[in-house]
């Protein structure tokens, strides 16, 4: 994969200062400016609103200083606006005025991302001097993991199928000394029948990707990511407008892989497992049909009410595999339902768990690293909406209500032994550019999960 990120560098000695200002500090900063720069700031009507930028000239005509408005300081990603607004060169943050320098450095890197696989990514990017007291290497590792995940989501399905998802997992595993096993073909059909069924219509073979890393006696944490390389909807085919962004239907796998990359790079004290069922939900004579009944890995029979609800099917087999090992913590990631987007919009993934203490920790981690989520309820009476007259359960409710909740309840049937289970229903895409979040693929919840696990299982 190819991506363009800015860099964090040592101070070259001539880095241009970026002075961060709030409404409270602006008068003091303005008074300290050289007379010519203060006049220029007034002439250009600079105000310390969030994201406002003023490029102040030095006496010799070169760029002498940058003013950057923080507003009320509530947006931890606001510094992500800087790399796209500044000319090439080296910059250093000064007068942070209480703003988190580590968050600013990460936002800078994330905001500099450009997807450059199919065309030039643009001119040379500005670079940032590592702020004092910030672990530049750790920040860069997180940014690189996010960038690679974004690359996966942004890559169209003609260049990213199940085999390429496998290659991406193997590449990350190779950097960290992890092991990877793959299940395909007849073995997949026997051991993971739902994964096989969903991928059977595509000429690109489905597979179950299983990565392991870390000391075998450490606490076990398992990540499961939905890897649907493209989703036509199957025989319940989507309209053309519904397929336009379906290259992102492997966004759950990308988020899980990015989180795993961060965890391994940080050397956290845990036994990590990453499971990715990778398929393409295509249309052919081999496609599964509405009304089919499939026996899952867990032994539960599933009636197919809709072939476009394929993500929960492949996750069901993967969760059954994960649950059998009894992990201390199980987290799954999926671009699963439109209902979650209707409820919360594209920027706020839904999450579900029965563990109230874990839910609070997830929410707090999301706020702390500006990767927010919102808890929705696992309302058990809605499980009846998945009843089937001929199988243990249907894969859809058949009605218009509570689609995200019924999907989460479906998944819980396949990991009954793991109470500390979190299901993330995410969008995996930025519809428009915001600071630190360029338009395009996004690995929502990956940084949140890294922060959560870093707090629970710090490096030994």
Looking at residue 95, its pLDDT comes to 74
| Mean pLDDT across the chain | 96
> Nearest 5°: phi and psi at 441?
-60, 145
Q: What whole-number distance in Å separates Cα of residue 77 and Cα of residue 62?
A: 28
Q: What whole-number distance in Å separates Cα of residue 323 and Cα of residue 298?
A: 10
Say what the pTM is. Answer: 0.97
Tens of pLDDT, residues 146-185: 999 999 999 999 999 999 999 999 999 999 999 999 999 9
What is the arithmetic mean of pLDDT over 98-105? Answer: 90
Q: How confident is the model at residue 1 (pLDDT cuts 50, 70, 90)?
A: very low
CATH classification (class only), 142-456? alpha beta
Q: What whole-number distance in Å separates Cα of residue 405 and Cα of residue 301?
A: 20
Residue 2 has pLDDT above 50, yes or no: no
Can 434 be counted among the known catalytic residues?
A: no
Q: How far apart are the first and last CA of the chain?
A: 32
What is the arithmetic mean of pLDDT over 296-300? Answer: 98
Provide CATH code, domain 3-126.
Answer: 3.40.220.10
296, 317 Cβ separation under 8 angstroms: yes
What percent of the chain has a predicted confidence (pLDDT) above 70?
A: 99
Dig out the tokens for 336 from the structure.
Answer: 């699963």
Which residues make beta-bridge pairs with 430?
A: 440
350, 340 Cβ separation under 8 angstroms: yes
Q: What whole-number distance in Å separates Cα of residue 107 and Cα of residue 96?
A: 14
Taking residue 359's Cβ as centre, other Cβ atoms within 10 Å add up to: 16
Looking at residue 96, its pLDDT comes to 72
What is the arithmetic mean of pLDDT over 80-98? Answer: 90
Can 92 be counted among the known catalytic residues?
A: no
Residue 123 has pLDDT above 80, yes or no: no
Q: What whole-number distance in Å separates Cα of residue 436 and Cα of residue 80?
A: 4
Q: Is 113 left (phi over 0), alpha (psi -120 to 50) or beta?
A: beta
Tens of pLDDT, residues 227-286: 999 999 999 999 999 999 999 999 999 999 999 999 999 999 999 999 999 999 999 999
Residue 3 has pLDDT above 80, yes or no: no
User: Which among 52, 92, 170, 238 is annotated as catalytic?
Assistant: 238
Q: How confident is the model at residue 122 (pLDDT cuts 50, 70, 90)?
A: low
Tens of pLDDT, residues 412-443: 999 999 999 999 999 999 999 999 999 999 99
Looking at residue 121, its pLDDT comes to 66
Tens of pLDDT, residues 342-393: 999 999 999 999 999 999 999 999 999 999 999 999 999 999 999 999 999 9
Query: Do the domains spanning 3-126 and 142-456 agree at the CATH topology level?
Result: no
What is the arithmetic mean of pLDDT over 119-129? Answer: 85
Residue extents of the structural domains in the chain: 3-126, 142-456
User: Which among 220, 312, 341, 447 is annotated as catalytic?
Assistant: 312
């Amino acid at each position: 994969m190819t991506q363009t990120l800015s860099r964090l560098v040592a101070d070259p000695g001539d880095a241009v200062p970026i002075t961060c200002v709030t409404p409270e500090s602006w008068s003091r900063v303005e008074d300290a400016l050289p007379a010519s720069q203060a006049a220029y700031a007034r002439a250009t009507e600079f105000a310390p609103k969030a994201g406002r930028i003023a490029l102040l000239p030095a006496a010799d005509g070169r760029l002498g200083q940058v003013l950057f408005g923080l507003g009320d300081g509530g947006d931890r990603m606001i510094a992500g606006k800087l790399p796209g607004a500044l000319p090439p060169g080296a910059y250093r943050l000064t007068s942070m005025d209480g703003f988190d320098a580590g968050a600013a450095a990460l936002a800078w890197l994330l905001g500099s991302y450009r997807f450059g696989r199919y065309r030039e990514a643009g001119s040379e990017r500005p670079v940032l001097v590592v702020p004092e007291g910030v672990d530049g290497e750790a920040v860069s590792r997180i940014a690189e993991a996010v960038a690679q995940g974004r690359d996966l989501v942004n890559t169209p399905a003609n260049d990213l199928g199940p085999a390429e998802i496998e290659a991406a997992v193997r590449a990350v595993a190779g950097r960290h000394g992890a092991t990877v096993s793959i299940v395909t073909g007849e073995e997949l059909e026997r051991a993971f029948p739902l994964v096989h069924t969903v991928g059977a219509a595509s000429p690109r073979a489905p597979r179950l990707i299983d990565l392991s890393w870390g000391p075998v006696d450490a606490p076990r944490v398992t990540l499961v990511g939905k890897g649907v390389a493209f989703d036509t909807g199957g025989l319940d085919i989507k309209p053309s407008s519904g397929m336009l962004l379906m290259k992102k239907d492997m966004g759950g796998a990308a988020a899980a892989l990015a989180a795993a990359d961060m965890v391994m790079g940080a050397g956290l004290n845990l036994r990590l497992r990453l499971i990715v069922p990778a398929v393409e939900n295509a249309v052919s004579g081999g496609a599964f049909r509405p009304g089919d009944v499939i026996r899952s890995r867990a032994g539960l029979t599933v009636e197919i009410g809709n072939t476009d609800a394929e993500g929960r099917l492949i996750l069901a087999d993967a969760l059954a595999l994960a649950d059998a090992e009894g992990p201390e913590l199980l987290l799954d990631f999926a671009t699963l339902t439109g209902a979650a987007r209707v409820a919360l919009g594209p920027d706020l993934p839904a999450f579900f768990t029965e563990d109230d203490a874990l839910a609070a920790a997830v929410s707090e981690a999301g706020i702390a690293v500006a990767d927010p989520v919102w808890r929705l309820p696992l309302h058990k009476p809605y499980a009846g909406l998945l009843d089937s007259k001929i199988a243990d359960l249907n894969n859809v409710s058949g009605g218009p209500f509570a689609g995200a909740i019924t999907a989460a309840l479906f998944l819980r049937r396949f990991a009954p032994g793991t109470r500390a289970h979190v299901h993330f229903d995410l969008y995996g895409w930025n519809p428009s550019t915001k600071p630190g979040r360029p338009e395009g693929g996004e690995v929502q919840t990956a940084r949140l999960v890294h922060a959560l696990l870093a707090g629970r299982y710090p490096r030994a």
